[in-house]
Amino acid sequence: MRRAPSKKRKPVPFLSISFCVLVTVYLFLSKPDTSNTIENDLKAFLSSPEDNVDTSSYTYPTTYENFDVNHRDDSDGSDGQDDDKFHNDENDQEEETEEGQLQQQEIETEANVDTLSNENKTDSHMKEQVTSTTPTQNLVQLNTVNTTLYPMYVTACCGIGHRLSRILPVMVYANRHHQSTKIVLQEVPWSALFNDTTHAKNDVIGEGYDEGKRQGLLIQNGVPQEYWREYKYTTFEKTHTVLDRYFRDWFYSPILNTLLHHLQENMTPVVKSYFDPLYQQLSSKEEDSVSMCFHLRQGNNETGDWQKKKWRHVNTEHVLNTTLLEMQSFVHSQNATRAKIFIASDSEDIRPWFTSRIPDTWDVVQPAKTMPRPENGVWFGESGSLTANVLNQTMKNEAMAEALADVFALGACNALLIPNYSSFTYASIALTRARGNSVFFLGKDKYHDMTEFEDGREMLPMDNS
C-alpha cells in the first residue's frame, strides 16, 4: 500500500516567531506581582508631603564581607535569629508543659465590658492612683566620656527589639568605662533612628570599625561577657509567668533607663512623626482616665524561626479575653471610668477586636500613620530574611521608625500588659517601670503585677564608677 506523499512544512516566518515571543513577554510582564503591589502601596503612603522626611543627612553603612551580623557571641548564646536573644532557656521544658495544658483548657469566661465580678478584682491593683506618664524616674548622672579612650563598637541584626537588646547593654557597659558607643547597622542605619549624642553615635565599617575589632572592642550581635556581672541583682525566683522568659536584670538598671530617656529625647524626625502623635495621646492628663498598653506577637503567617519556636505561640482568643478582663480590673482599681488603649501587634486584627468590645468611655489609640504590612511575617525579623528587599531605603527607614515608635509608646502607659515573650518589649518594660507604672505578665490563667515578685526590691542607684 503506497503511502500518501508527505506535505512539506512551510517555514514559519521570522516575524511570526518574533510576534509570539513579544506576546509571551508581554503576558509575563502583565502578571500581577504582589511585591509590586506592596511597593505601590508604600509609594502611595509616602506620597503626601507631610509624610516625607528629609533623609539627606543620614549616613548609610556599606555592606562589607567582614561585617558578620550573624556572629555568635558565646556570652549569651546568640545565634543571630529572631526575638529570643535574651530568652531564658532553662524554663522551656516546664513552661511548654504548662502552655500545652493551657491550650487544652476551655475558655470559660467571656469578657464583659459592662460589669466586673468581685473575683476578678485583685488587691495587687489597689495602689495609689496613677497621675502621669510623663516623668522618668530613677535617672542617674551618666559618666562623662573620656575622648582619649577608644569607643565600643556594636553591630546587631533582625528586628528593632533584638537590635536594642544588643545595643543598650553595650552602651551601659561603655558608659561604666567612660567610653562612647559606635553603632553599625545594616538595612537601616542608627542615624535614621536617633541623632548622635555624646554616648551613642552612628558609624560605618571602615578604619575605625576595624581598629575597634583589633582592640577587642567590637561586640558583634551580642553583649560584653562582663556585662551581667556588673548588675546588683543576678538571681530571681521563678514566677511561673511570662516574666520568667526575660532577663530581669534589665529592669533594675538606672543607667539603662537614663540611656533610654536620652534616646527618646534624640529621636530623628522620621521616628518622631510616628511617636509624637501616640505619646501625646497617651501622656495627656485627663480627669478620671488611665492609659493601658498591650503588645501581642502573633506571627502573621510567619514561617522559619518563628514557626519553630512553639513556646512563643499563644491561644489568641484566650489571651485577648484575659487581657480585656485585666484591663477592666485595672481601670476599676484606679477609680477611673475612661481609658485609652494602645496596641502594638504584628496582626491587624487586634485593634478591631478591642474596638468592638470596650466600653463607650474607652478609646483605642489610633496611630497618625501606618506602614503597609508584608503578607507574611514582619519587615525586619529573622536574620537573613528577604522580606524587606521590596523596600527602598526610605521605606526601610519608615518601617523601622514605626516599629521603634511602638517600642517607646508601649513604655508610656499607666499599665503595660505582656502576654508572651518578645525582645520587642524589653525597652518598653524598662521605661514603664522607670516611670513608676505597672507591668503585668500573663501566667497560667491570669495576669500578675510585676511587684508581686519583687519583695520590696527597688531600683537602687548603683555605683557608676
Give residue-wise pLDDT tens across range 280-289: 999 887 889 9
Give CA–CA dist 54/46, Å, rounded.
12
The strand order across the sheet containing 338-345 reads 362-364, 338-345, 289-296, 415-418, 438-442, 447-449
Query: Given this model, what pLDDT does residue 61 score?
Result: 33
Query: Given this model, what pLDDT does residue 398 score?
Result: 92
**Span of 117-121, 156-160, 397-401 with lowest mean pLDDT:** 117-121
Query: Are the CB atoms for 62 and 186 separated by under 8 Å?
Result: no
Backbone angles phi, psi at 347, to 5 degrees: -110, 135
Give residue-wise pLDDT tens across range 319-375: 999 999 999 999 999 999 999 999 998 888 899 999 999 999 999 999 999 877 776
Choose the CATH number for 89-453 among 1.10.1270.20, 3.40.50.1470, 3.40.50.11350, 3.90.850.10: 3.40.50.11350
Higher model confidence: residue 58 or residue 102?
102
Which of 447, 260, 288 is closest to 362 using CA atoms?
288
Query: Given this model, what pLDDT does residue 212 score?
Result: 97
Give CA–CA dist 55/58, Å, rounded.
5
The b-or-e profile of 366-405 (16+ CB within 10 A means b, else e) is: ebeeebbbbeebbbbbbbebebbebbeebbbbbbbbbbbb
Residue 15, pLDDT > 60, answer no
Higher model confidence: residue 129 or residue 197?
197
Give residue-wise pLDDT tens across range 195-250: 999 999 999 999 999 999 999 999 998 888 776 555 554 568 899 999 999 988 88
pTM to 2 decimal places:
0.72
- Cβ neighbors of 294 (< 8 A, separation 6 or more) are 323, 327, 341, 342, 343, 344, 350, 416, 417, 419
